[in-house]
Structure 1
Amino acid sequence: MNKDLKQKALEIISNHRTGILANVENKKPHVRYMTFFNKDLTLFTPTKLDTEKVDEIEKNPSASVLLGYEEKGLSDSYIEVSGTSRINQSQELKQQFWDDSFSKWFSGPEDSNYVLLEIQPETIRILNNEGGEAQEFQV
């Protein structure tokens, strides 16, 4: 893995918490905005255990995430992460990524309906990188 590309990807991820998650629903793409947290390029996003996302992931774990590209778009670098997703119920991670804004949906980090979607990247592409060509690396 190219360390410079990894560092650029980590920089984009750390500067953009809101992104787009795409997965598969009934053999078609399904996209939604989510909040993402990072742990060495593995992405985590909070969700309810009883949502359709969980059912979709159990049927097809393929997922893509877009992060970045929030200003005028002309020079914003952004990343596209392609990989597989799974449900993560680690109490340690749920506590680590807990934000008080989640209280709208959950009673706290111990809420049994509060889980994390974990997106394990396989390929990361950095796009619109200072007008240059897309750069890609395998994770």
Structure 2
Amino acid sequence: MDQSNLQHRIMQAMDRNPVCSFATVEGNRPKVRYMMLFHEQMTVYLATDRKTHKVEELEANPHVHLLFGMDKETVSLEGTGKVSDDPELRSKIWNREFEHWFSGPDDPDYVVLVITPSRVEFSDKDMNLEVWEG
């Protein structure tokens, strides 16, 4: 199995699927919600408000799961997340759609969840499964 080719197909799937389901752990139970997905290479970025439960959940347990795709592929990503308020990163992924929730990239409540994948299961439309491990 060619890991670099698989990694490339995973990144293409991220490009095609701007929305993902994002699961954290609250106590000992999973908690899932839809979020806009941004990425650079295999690192995933999710924008959120620092006052949400997502931030508390990541600080208590950094293990996360993302699921996206359907038509051409299905991608299941396991990894760890951390909260970043780095101004450069916030500006980099700022999107005008965020204006519904934030005053701008400098809004003190706007933070970015940085997801580092450890394992990705990639299934093509024929349900052929390949696994990437970082």
TM superposition score normalised by structure 2: 0.95
Once the two structures are TM-superposed, the CA of residue 47 in structure 1 deviates from its matched residue by 0.3
Match in the other structure for 2:68? 67
Structure 2: 5+ residue stretches without partners: none
Match in the other structure for 2:114? 118
2-structure distance, mates of 1:9, 1:78: 9
Structure 1: 5+ residue stretches without partners: none
1:88-121 per-position Cα deviation (integer Å, ceiling 9, x unaligned): 1111111111111111110100011000011110
Once the two structures are TM-superposed, the CA of residue 59 in structure 1 deviates from its matched residue by 0.6
2-structure distance, mates of 1:99, 1:110: 12
Q: Is 2:108 aligned against 1:107?
A: no
Letter in 2 for 1:90: D
- Give the 4+ runs in structure 1 shifted more than 2 A: none
Letter in 1 for 2:128: E
Q: Secondary structure at the match of 2:47?
A: strand
2-structure distance, mates of 1:29, 1:38: 23
Match in the other structure for 2:12? 11
Match in the other structure for 2:76? 80
- Of residues 94, 119, 137 in structure 1, which corresponds to 2:132? 137
Once the two structures are TM-superposed, the CA of residue 52 in structure 1 deviates from its matched residue by 0.6
2-structure distance, mates of 1:112, 1:7: 34
TM superposition score normalised by structure 1: 0.92
2-structure distance, mates of 1:124, 1:89: 26
Sequence identity percentage: 29
2-structure distance, mates of 1:33, 1:20: 4
Match in the other structure for 1:95? 91
Match in the other structure for 2:42? 41
2-structure distance, mates of 1:10, 1:77: 12
Q: Secondary structure at the match of 2:65?
A: strand
Match in the other structure for 1:21? 22
Aligned residues: CA RMSD: 1.1
2-structure distance, mates of 1:130, 1:117: 29
